[in-house]
Structure 1
Amino acid sequence: MNTEELSPRYADIDLWQPADILDAMIEGQLASVAAVRAARAQIEHAALAIEGRLRKQGRLVYVGAGTSGRLAVQDGAELMPTFSWPQERLLLLLAGGEAAMTQAIEGAEDDTERAAATIAEHDIGPDDVLIGVAASGSTPFTLTCLREAKRRGALTVGIANNPGAPLLTDAEYPIFLATGPEPIAGSTRMNAGTAQRITLNLLSTLIMIRLGRIYRGMMVEVQACNAKLAKRRERMVGHLTGQSGEPVREALDLARGSVKLAVLLLQGYDLAEAEAVLDRVDGRLRAALDHLAKMRAPSLDGTPSLDDTGENTKRGS
C-alpha cells in the first residue's frame, strides 16, 4: 500500500533542520490538495448521485475507523449546525463508538461482526447513502459496513488513498486520492488525512448547495446556537431584504429563527403562505422568491396574475 511505504525523500527527516522539516511537510499538504483536484470528477459524480437519493428523504451515513473515521464524523457532525441537516437523517458510525474519537480502541477496526450488526441495527436500506472513508481502503470495519449497506440497497461512496483498494472497487462511487507515501511512514493523519478532510468538505458542501441550503453564498439554514451565529443570522436577513433592526428581529421571532421564512415574511407574506411556498419548492429560497415574484407580476392585460390554484394573488407588488 502506498500509504504504508517508506519514502526515500524523507528517510533522514529526523536529521533535518526544523525549517526544512516544515517545508517538506507543507509540500506534502500541497500535494494533498492536488490529489483532491485530480479527483474532482469523481467527487462531482458522487455528489450528484447522493443528492438524488437524499431528495427521497434518505439518511446520510458516515463510516470509518481511526483517523479516517474521526474525519468522517467531524464532517458529518458539522452538517447540523451549518446546514440544519436533520439529526434523524444523519448516522455517524465510528469503529469503537464515541470513545474512539479521543482514544484508540483495540481491535475496533477489525471487528467485522460489529460492523455488519451496526448496519442491520440501523436498518440501512435503499433510501440511504453510506460514505466509507479509509486511507488504506481495506479497513475491515469500514469495508464490511460498505458491503453490507450496498447489499441492502444503499448508495455507497468509498474514499481511499490506495489505487485498486477494496473500498474503491466495491463502492458504487469510488473517490481515489493519490497522496502516496507519507513524510512519516504510515502516519495517514498527514497527507492522506488532509486529502480526505478536503474531499469530505467539498462533497458535503456541494450536496448541501444542490439541496438548496445555501442562497447567494450564505448559510440560510444555519442554526443560531450561540450569540455570534444569531448576529450572523440577523445580518443575512438584513442583507437579503434591505431591512435592519427591529423588523428583522421580529420576522426571525415569528419565523422561529428560520432565515428563509424571515426573508419571505419581510417581503409581505404571512407565515402560512411563506411555509407553503417553501414546502412547494423543496425549501429552496431562490425558487421560492422566483415563484412569489411571478405570482405578484401583473398579466399582459393589466389584471393581477393567478397563482397555481387559479385564485387572484393576495398581494400586489
Structure 2
Amino acid sequence: MDYKKITETPSNYDHLEQMDTTSILTNMNKEDQKVAEAVALAIPQITKLVDELAVRFLKGGRLFYIGAGTSGRLGILDASEIPPTYGMSHTRVIGLIAGGDVAIRKSVEHAEDDTQLAWKDLMAYDINENDVVVGIAASGTTPYVIGGILDARANGLITAGITNNPGSPLAVEADIPIEMNVGPEFVTGSTRMKSGTSQKLVLNMISTALMIKIGRVKGNKMVNMQLSNNKLVDRGTRYVSEGLGVDYDKAKELLEKYGSVKKALEEES
C-alpha cells in the first residue's frame, strides 16, 4: 500500500545527545504541543465511534481494545480505570494485548506478528454483534491488530482503528478510522512519545464520553464510582453534600446508608 509512514520519518531535531537537559525537555514539550491539535481534527470520527458504542452498550454490548506494545498497554490502562471510576463491571470494557497479560510488563517476542491471535483472544469472551472492537496501532500496520479488525468485521462487529499514520492498513480496514498525524517523534520512531500521548487522549475521550452518554455521570460528578478507599469515600461524601445541600456528617451518613452517591441523591432528592 502506497502511503507515507509518518511515525518512522526522521525527527525534526538532531544531535540530541549534544543538547543540554533544558533543551531536550523544551524541544520535547514543543513537539507535545502538536498532539492536542492532531486529536482535535479526529473529533468527528471519535464522535461516530462513541455514538455507535452507546447504542450497543445499552443493549449489553462491550468495548474491546486490541493492541501490541505501548498501544496495547494504553488500552488495558483505559479499560482498567472504568470500574473504579464509573462503577461498571470489569467485563464491559476490556483491553487485550498481543502476548497476553505477561506482555503488559515484558515484551513477548513476535506475538504482534500473528494475524489470527487477536480473534482467538476475543473469542474467549464469546464476542457477539453488540460488541465493538477498537484496534490501536501507531504504525497502523501491526498484524495482531489488523487481523483482529478484519475478523471482527467479517463477523458483523463494528470496528474502529486508532492510528498515527493516515491511510495505513488499519485506517483502511476499520469501519471508523481515527487518524492523528502528530508528525515525526522527537526520538525518531519512538511512538511511545507523541503517538502514545495522542492515543491516551483519544481513549480518555472515548470511554469518558461513553460513560456520560449511558448515564454514569450526573451533572459533572462520577456518581457511580466505587467507594473503595478513604479518598473516594471523602469525595463521594462531598458530592452528596453538594447535591442535597446537607452538611458533611449527614452526607456521609447517607452515603453509608445507600452505598453509592447516585442512590443517595436519587432517594433523598
| CA apart distance, 1:251 | 2.7
% identical aligned pairs: 39
Paired AA for residue 112 in structure 1: T
Of structures 1 and 2, the one with the larger relative CO (CA 8 A, separation 6+) is 2
- Post-superposition Cα deviations, 1:64-93, rounded to whole Å, max 9, x if no partner, equal 100011111101111111011222223221
Runs of 5+ consecutive residues of structure 2 not aligned to the other structure: none
Number of the residue aligned with 1:259: 261
Runs of 5+ consecutive residues of structure 1 not aligned to the other structure: 268-317
Is 1:3 aligned with 2:25? no
Indicate the SS of the match to 2:91.
helix
Number of the residue aligned with 1:212: 215
Task: Map 1:20-169 to 2 at 5 A.
Answer: 20-169=23-172
Q: Is the 8 A contact 1:124 1:149 kept in 2?
A: no
| CA apart distance, 1:63 | 0.8
- Post-superposition Cα deviations, 1:183-235, rounded to whole Å, max 9, x if no partner, equal 11110000101111111111111111111111111111111111000111111
Q: Is the 8 A contact 1:159 1:196 kept in 2?
A: yes
Q: Is the 8 A contact 2:117 2:148 kept in 1?
A: no
- CA distance in 2 between counterparts of 1:12 and 1:93 reads 37
Aligned length: 265
Q: Is the 8 A contact 2:238 2:248 kept in 1?
A: no
- CA distance in 1 between counterparts of 2:201 and 2:186 reads 19
Paired AA for residue 6 in structure 1: P
Match of 2:227 among 224, 228, 231: 224
Give the RMSD, CA atoms, in angstroms.
1.4
Indicate the SS of the match to 2:33.
helix
- CA distance in 2 between counterparts of 1:191 and 1:90 reads 25
Structure 1 runs (4+) greater than 6 angstroms displaced: none
Is 1:190 aligned with 2:190? no
| CA apart distance, 1:250 | 3.6
